Amino acid sequence: MKAAHYLPLFTVFLVTACGPQPSEGTGSSAESVQATVEKPAVETVEGVTTVRIDGNDRMQFTLTEFTVKAGDTVRIIFENKGRMPKTAMGHNVVVLKKGVDANAYAGKAALARDTDFIPASEADSVIAHTKLLGPEESDTIEFTAPEPGDYVYLCSFPAHCFAGMRGIMTVKE
């Protein structure tokens, strides 16, 4: 199978496409979140940190904090373990750039139903995001861990971020 040879190139493309833009750091405005980690699922192998996060029908992420090293590749494997239909209980993971107001982003996202709650007007606020998932669906995203700091990730389905479906990615030197 020749396709395997193209994978590294494809990965580089993904990282480039989703990589952070240099922006003025306004310091960390990330709010602290309650960490109810049921199943720590963070593993780093040769510069790639794989993070497994599940969503459920109670509007929760199974992982609400993780730490990565600046410059490493972050691979988030997100799975919707709920049973409710996507229209009522869809989930995604949106990783915001440093300093972006998560509540403001979520408020705008809630109005963007046509684009699965990823508002095009706020694209500059996002490092990377998964697709909106229905029950038993999964999606994987990759990006390069940006400069050190705290970065909020959230589900942008209406009301989910406000209900607590958010977490913090800490990037260390």
Q: By the 8 A CB rule, do 144 and 15 touch?
A: yes
- Rounded least distance, CB 160 to Cu ion, Å: 4
Q: Which of residues 3-22 bind Cu ion (CB under 5 A)?
A: none
Which lies closer to Cu ion via its Cβ, residue 129 or residue 160? 160
Which lies closer to Cu ion via its Cβ, residue 119 or residue 149? 119
Binding flags for Cu ion, 123-162, as an x/- string (CB under 5 A): --------------------------------x-x--x--
- Rounded least distance, CB 151 to Cu ion, Å: 18
- Rounded least distance, CB 22 to Cu ion, Å: 30
Binding flags for Cu ion, 82-101, as an x/- string (CB under 5 A): ---------x----------
- Rounded least distance, CB 118 to Cu ion, Å: 13
Place of tokens 């952070």: 20
SS (H, E, C) 70-120: CCCEEEEEEEECCCCCHHHHCECCEEECCCCCHHHHHHHHCCCHHHCCCCH
Which lies closer to Cu ion via its Cβ, residue 2 or residue 39? 39
Q: Is the dihedral of CA 57, 137, 140, 18 positive or negative?
A: negative
Which lies closer to Cu ion via its Cβ, residue 17 or residue 163? 163
In angstroms, the CA 24 to CA 42 distance is: 29
CA 26 to chain centroid, in Å, comes to 20
- Rounded least distance, CB 139 to Cu ion, Å: 13
Instruction: Return the structure tokens found at 164.
Output: 């607590």
Give the type of residue at 33.
V
Which residues contact Cu ion by CB under 5 A? 91, 155, 157, 160, 165
